[in-house]
Homo-oligomer: A and B are copies of this chain.
Amino acid sequence: MKRFFTLLVALAATTILYAQPTVERWGCFEVSFKHTVKGGENPFAVTLEATFTQGDKALTVKGFYDGDNTYRIRFMPTEEGTWHYTTRSSARTMNRQRGTLEAVAPTGDNHGPVTTDEDQGFRYADGKRYHPFGTTTYALSLFRPSTQEKTLRALEASGFNKTRFCILPKDYPTELEQPTIFPFEMKSCTTNAEGKKVYEWDFERPNPLFFQNVDRRILDLQRLGIEADLILFHPYDRGMWGFDDMGFEGDCRYLDYLIARVGSYRNVWWSLANEWDLVRTKTEEDWRGLTRHVVAADPYRHLCSIHGGSAVYFDYHMPEYTHVSFQDEGPLYTMTASGTMRQIFHKPVIADEIGYEGNTSMRWARWSPQFMTHLVTNGIMGGIYVTHGACYNTGEEDWVYWSDGGDMEGESWKRIAFLRQIVEEAPNPIRPADISRDEVTSTAGEGYYFVYFGQQIQRDWAFNIPRSNQRFKRGEEGQQFQVEIIDLWNMTIERCPTIFEATKVIDYRHYDKNHRQVQLPETPYLLLRITRVE
Mark A residues whose CB is within 8 Å of B. Answer: 310-313, 315, 317, 328-331, 333-334, 336-337, 339-341, 343-346, 361, 363, 435-437, 439, 507-508
Contact = CB atoms under 8 A, between A and B. Distances in A.
Given A333-B337, A337-B330, A337-B336, A313 B343 contact: yes
Closest 9 CB pairs of A and B: A337-B337, A317-B317, A311-B435, A330-B336, A311-B436, A330-B340, A330-B436, A313-B344, A311-B343
Nearest to A341: B340
B508 A363 contact: yes
A317 B313 CA distance: 12
A265 to B, nearest CB: 32
Give how many copies assemble into the complex. Answer: 2
Contacts of A313: 343-346
B315 A315 contact: no
B310 A436 contact: yes
Nearest to A343: B311
A180 B336 CA distance: 43
Contacts of A508: 363
Contacts of A361: 507
Contacts of A312: 343
A53 to B, nearest CB: 34
A312 B310 CA distance: 25
Contacts of A328: 340, 343, 435-436
The DSSP consensus for interface residues of chain A is loop
Contacts of A334: 333-334, 337
Given A310-B437, A436-B310, A339 B343 contact: no
Contacts of A333: 334, 336-337, 439
B336 A340 contact: no
Nearest to A329: B436
A240 B60 CA distance: 57
A508 B361 CA distance: 10
Given A328-B436, A330-B435, A331-B336, 14 more contacts: A311-B343, A311-B436, A312-B343, A315-B317, A329-B436, A329-B437, A330-B340, A331-B337, A334-B334, A336-B337, A337-B340, A340-B341, A361-B507, A363-B507
A154 B311 CA distance: 40
Contacts of A310: 435-437
A121 to B, nearest CB: 18
Nearest to A314: B346
Given A310-B437, A315-B317, A363-B508, A340 B346 contact: no
A278 to B, nearest CB: 14
B346 A339 contact: no
Contacts of A340: 311, 328, 330-331, 337, 341
Nearest to A434: B310
A439 B313 CA distance: 19
A284 to B, nearest CB: 10
A442 to B, nearest CB: 13
A129 to B, nearest CB: 24
Task: Name the residue in A330, A334, A339 with the highest tally of chain B Cβ atoms < 10 Å from its Cβ.
Answer: A330
22 contacts: A311-B340, A311-B343, A311-B435, A311-B436, A313-B344, A313-B345, A313-B346, A315-B346, A317-B317, A328-B343, A328-B436, A329-B436, A329-B437, A330-B336, A330-B339, A331-B336, A333-B334, A333-B336, A333-B439, A337-B337, A361-B507, A363-B508
A44 to B, nearest CB: 38
A341 to B, nearest CB: 8
